[in-house]
Structure 1
């Protein structure tokens, strides 16, 4: 059956190794935009790994266009998320502290606890500002001086960047994209209900098909677009591989060559294994967790168990014991930040991650 239904057979380790070491590795815009969502050290690891791919790296013109179009939004989102964390943490801490202090009748003790907590929180905010300066690109400055884009300009240039299609070719591709959307054919058909112009995915796909015809080698497409169902085949939420119909279509464009898809974290795991890149496990894990991060938990989202824990610690701290006050601070910060990933260079203090681990270990 394999000769007839080859698109239903997922590549084994030997085929994957061949694709990674010999094939074109094409990047979608969302993979490039992830560079703004990690810290400086992790960002450099990723860029170094991409550079090591060399001339086998390929960024479709449409993917590069979508990167440029969404770059400032990605910068803003990363900066805004980081900026909101300290504010939301302080609000969550103060609201919970106010509630938990009510049972303590001695006003002097209450004031002492509040002053001690406020002082320690100010130290945290100072360190947090330092982390922001070191790892988050400022939108105002990066609007014209973006070190990520500078690196991508260098890495994805010449034959590594797809050519801009002519007006006629672009129109033909858009018409084909709309036809496929109307017929429910991937990729891009899942965007029809959410986007006014849902042709972008097919425009990328058309370039990949064209590239495959000329490159005469396998293709690995790196996209984080895994949730819509028009790129990846999934079973009970688990990604199995590219949709069989995409594999079949690519086989028609490039007979005898394999096609596969992975997300950015998986690409870096594979390049570590097969071409000796040096991306840390922490960086790969951070990219994987990015897919699950939604938003910072606010004070209203603190669970009853968390509030009870804070109240218990404040009661223990009523003796003005500094150790208990520090424990209270770390636990409150950790619980308020549950669900947020903040990365930093391996050689720098990781106060927030330490606090989160502290909470998990002590709970």
Structure 2
């Protein structure tokens, strides 16, 4: 049975040993960037494992290209840290100032004491500004003298895929476009991205081409958690897409498997007798979980709504049958919820789904949920759509790691109130 349906099986310890001892371990760009996102101890453990496997390592050209392209923005990620520090400080200052005004004349809290508290917060905000101001100069120094890059240079010497010629790259893009039209993964979820829409497909074809030459069992380490790379069951990742395993078997005649970095360091570390700490596994897994897949984001939105509304009033819909992903019934009205990772609304089906949902009779209001704010073009599109609609339409930015369910539920309830006044009248 295993021989006939091998693509459905996770590798046994013996199978996994073949990848580590005599196979090829391909690294995606997100894995090359991972050491910048963890602490020194976790970084050390990751590199110890990879160093022991250095003869097996290989990086497709596309992964190397995306690594160097994205490296500056990843290294500059501290800017977001400063922004996340400043926002609650400014909000706290405003609340304290407003509360102090409401206590004007109170004998306990004098104006002088209030001023001291506000001055203290102002000093902290000023310090955050100073730290952020020096970011650009520090980034330039870090890019020039980068110990992590030096580690990769030493580890991956002569282990990078060859850069394709312009003609070769065009052929790859053309092949990926054809695959997308036929619904062949990976990369389908990036098809309508305004930039690098063919990146995943090109990466995969480069891995295939390399494997056809080497004929070695291939293990891809990637933290790309989108559903066109991994298959899931019950919300859990259970292995690569079956299509990918089959294609590798059919085209190169070798075994194929893929893992997120956290799973790799845990299993490979045990095999190499270099066990990694639970702290390292947690940190590395956190990198992956901060990058949402479409299905994971929808599940998060669904779970958040279930915490605020009765279970029987929150419904999930099969995407192929309905223009919305979820709905919430509040009294006599139903709010349809369209969930997407694409804050640019570049994917063609998003506009189609919104239009269809607004014109249909099943939903009384429509809410668009994205994990990032809409860009200006998308905002204009939504505004124009709302102006021409007879039903309330709104959008909310919500992320499971940065937002609470009350905010999401509040937006749904507000839309329901608007719809109720239309459906039932004043």
Same fold (TM over 0.5): yes
Residue 11 of structure 2 aligns with which residue? 11
Aligned counterpart in structure 1 of residue 265 of structure 2, from 263, 268, 288: 268
Separation (CA, whole Å) in 2 of partners of 1:119 and 1:272: 48
| Between 233-242 and 88-97, the greater mean CA deviation after superposition | 88-97
Cα displacement (A) at 1:199: 1.8
Residue 259 of structure 1 aligns with which residue? 256
Secondary structure of residue in 2 paired with 1:283: helix
Cα displacement (A) at 1:246: 0.5
Separation (CA, whole Å) in 1 of partners of 2:124 and 2:155: 40
Distance of aligned partners of 1:278 and 1:5 in 2 relative to their CA distance in 1, 3 Å threshold = closer
Separation (CA, whole Å) in 1 of partners of 2:275 and 2:9: 31
Whether the 8 Å contact between 1:27 and 1:58 is mirrored in structure 2 is yes
Distance of aligned partners of 1:214 and 1:120 in 2 relative to their CA distance in 1, 3 Å threshold = same
Residue 288 of structure 1 aligns with which residue? 285
Cα displacement (A) at 1:16: 2.7
Is 1:171 the equivalent of 2:170? Answer: yes
Residue 148 of structure 1 aligns with which residue? 148
TM-score normalised by structure 1 residue count: 0.69
Separation (CA, whole Å) in 2 of partners of 1:2 and 1:269: 25
Separation (CA, whole Å) in 1 of partners of 2:274 and 2:122: 39
Secondary structure of residue in 2 paired with 1:165: coil
Cα displacement (A) at 1:116: 6.6
Spell out the pairing of 1:54-203 with structure 2 (5 A cutoff): 54-76=54-76, 78-98=77-97, 105-108=106-109, 112=113, 115=116, 138-158=138-158, 160-203=159-202
Separation (CA, whole Å) in 2 of partners of 1:99 and 1:291: 40
Separation (CA, whole Å) in 2 of partners of 1:189 and 1:288: 24
Cα displacement (A) at 1:202: 1.9
Separation (CA, whole Å) in 2 of partners of 1:92 and 1:241: 44
Cα displacement (A) at 1:250: 0.7
Residue 32 of structure 1 aligns with which residue? 32
Residue 244 of structure 1 aligns with which residue? 242
**Higher percent of residues as strand:** 2
Distance of aligned partners of 1:165 and 1:103 in 2 relative to their CA distance in 1, 3 Å threshold = same
Aligned counterpart in structure 2 of residue 230 of structure 1, from 225, 228, 232: 228
**Higher percent of residues as helix:** 1
Separation (CA, whole Å) in 2 of partners of 1:98 and 1:81: 26
Separation (CA, whole Å) in 1 of partners of 2:73 and 2:126: 25
Cα displacement (A) at 1:68: 1.0
Cα displacement (A) at 1:21: 4.1
Spell out the pairing of 1:318-329 with structure 2 (5 A cutoff): none
Separation (CA, whole Å) in 2 of partners of 1:137 and 1:39: 22
Separation (CA, whole Å) in 1 of partners of 2:44 and 2:115: 41
| Between 57-66 and 96-105, the greater mean CA deviation after superposition | 96-105
Separation (CA, whole Å) in 1 of partners of 2:146 and 2:195: 30
Separation (CA, whole Å) in 2 of partners of 1:113 and 1:49: 55
Secondary structure of residue in 2 paired with 1:239: strand
Cα displacement (A) at 1:222: 0.8
Whether the 8 Å contact between 2:266 and 2:275 is mirrored in structure 1 is no
Separation (CA, whole Å) in 2 of partners of 1:22 and 1:123: 55
Separation (CA, whole Å) in 1 of partners of 2:122 and 2:230: 44
Separation (CA, whole Å) in 2 of partners of 1:223 and 1:277: 21
Separation (CA, whole Å) in 1 of partners of 2:127 and 2:165: 52
Whether the 8 Å contact between 1:188 and 1:199 is mirrored in structure 2 is yes
Separation (CA, whole Å) in 2 of partners of 1:259 and 1:194: 28
Cα displacement (A) at 1:236: 3.6
Secondary structure of residue in 2 paired with 1:202: helix
Cα displacement (A) at 1:138: 3.4
Separation (CA, whole Å) in 1 of partners of 2:167 and 2:112: 73
Give 5+ residue unaligned stretches, structure 1.
Answer: 295-337, 341-363
Show CA shifts across 1:126-171 (max 9, x none): 89x99xx9xx99322123222222221111111x211222344333
Whether the 8 Å contact between 1:223 and 1:264 is mirrored in structure 2 is yes
